[in-house]
Amino acid sequence: MKPAPLAVVVACATLAFTPLFARQTPSPMPAPATPSAPPPQGQARGATQRPDEGAVRDANGAVVGFTKTAEIPGTPWRIHDAGRPHPRMVTPGATPADAPSDAIVLFDGKDLSKWVKESDPTKPAPWPVRDGYFETGAGSGSIMTREKFGDIQLHLEFSTPSPGRGASQDRGNSGIKFMDKYELQILDSYQNITYADGQAGAIYGEYPPLVNPVKKPGEWQVYDVVFEAPKFKDTTLVAPAYITAFLNGVAIQIRRPVMGPTSPTMTPHQYTAHDAELPLMLQDHAHPVRFRNVWVRRLAGYDQPEKQ
């Protein structure tokens, strides 16, 4: 074979060592994309546009409700309904123990003018008032409020005698009777055994408390209670009473349905129709139990009309 000319060999070698991308024909540059329209004000780029919820705005443009959202089952309202009434304002006390602005103070540390003798409401409450507290009359009889109540929130502070004396029910015994019928027990239950449904925090004769958070005799203890009165239609029970209670800040009863007036022990507790509002009663069991800082709030239903 005749050798190739030197010029041809050099040309082939040059082609072999030329990088591949240098031998490719350059592609034309793509045309710049047409800018997309900006999203509506308040909507992030790429976000799906929300359906019309019927937003209602105040004078400053802030959304304060809606008119086209889904309905809340069992109510006349929609989710975030612009027409739903706002709760009224209540000024809380300086501490959780202090009465809020809508409370009815039943004992202010001075007198028992808001109370009467239970067995004879024409007579004043006979219990003694001392240095900012009052004490059971130790045999003078129970007392009850002049005013009548239905659904309420109750705050009450009490102290059982110190040193503790007696045993079981004969030791620092008193009680709160809502509507003069439905009892939440007061008792010195510090290292004092009695029947479970009769110790401090029990709905008497029905439910023991969830736990026993009592303090030592002589120390001040705190009840915070929500009582829902029973509801009747004529003589028929529509809804029982309910009690939710905290003792010394600890939940002890959580909306327990009361079976009826709690005094009977030989027959089941059962309801008899009564007035929608009745007095609140404190029991005298001949033990010098002390009380202070007693107040209640009347409880109305949800979604009450706003006052203009």
Fold of 104-298: Jelly Rolls (2.60.120)
pLDDT surpasses 80 at 269 = yes
The tokens describing 248, both together, are 């010394």
For 198, list phi and psi in degrees, rounded to 5: -130, 5
> What size, in residues, is the chain?
308
Q: What's the pLDDT at 177?
A: 98
The Cα–Cα gap between 192 and 166 comes to 9
Q: What's the pLDDT at 11?
A: 45
Give the E-state strand segments of 170-302 in sequence order: 174-178, 182-186, 221-228, 231-233, 236-239, 242-247, 250-257, 278-282, 290-298
The Cα–Cα gap between 205 and 125 comes to 27
pLDDT tens-digit readout, 10-37: 444 444 444 444 444 445 555 555 555 5
pLDDT tens-digit readout, 161-194: 998 888 898 888 999 999 999 999 999 999 999 9
On the 0-12 / 13-18 / 19+ scale of CB atoms within 10 A, 60 is: exposed
pLDDT surpasses 90 at 226 = yes
- Percent of the chain's residues with pLDDT above 90: 75
pLDDT tens-digit readout, 104-113: 999 999 999 9
pLDDT tens-digit readout, 141-151: 999 999 999 99
The Cα–Cα gap between 162 and 178 comes to 27
pLDDT tens-digit readout, 42-73: 555 655 677 888 999 999 999 999 999 999 99
SS3 3: coil
pLDDT surpasses 70 at 92 = yes
Cis geometry, peptide bond prior to residue 124 (ω within 30 degrees of 0): no
- Name the pTM for this structure: 0.81
Residue ranges of the domains in the chain? 55-86, 104-298
pLDDT tens-digit readout, 74-89: 999 999 999 999 999 9
Amino acid at 7: A
Kindly give, in sequence order, each residue whose CB lies less than 8 Å from that of residue 271, ignoring residues fewer than 6 positions away.
230, 232, 237, 240, 260, 261
Which residue's structure tokens are 């009747």?
232
Q: What's the pLDDT at 165?
A: 87
Q: Which of 150, 244, 153 is nearest to 203 (CA)?
A: 244
Q: Which of 231, 177, 234, 236 is nearest to 204 (CA)?
A: 177
Q: What's the pLDDT at 49?
A: 74
Q: What's the pLDDT at 8?
A: 43
Amino acid at 250: V
Q: What's the pLDDT at 162?
A: 92
The H or E element spanning position 66 is strand 63-66
The tokens describing 36, both together, are 């997309």
The tokens describing 116, both together, are 């009467």
Rounded to the nearest integer, the mean pLDDT of the chain is 88
Q: What's the pLDDT at 38?
A: 58
Q: How confident is the model at residue 119 (pLDDT cuts 50, 70, 90)?
A: very high
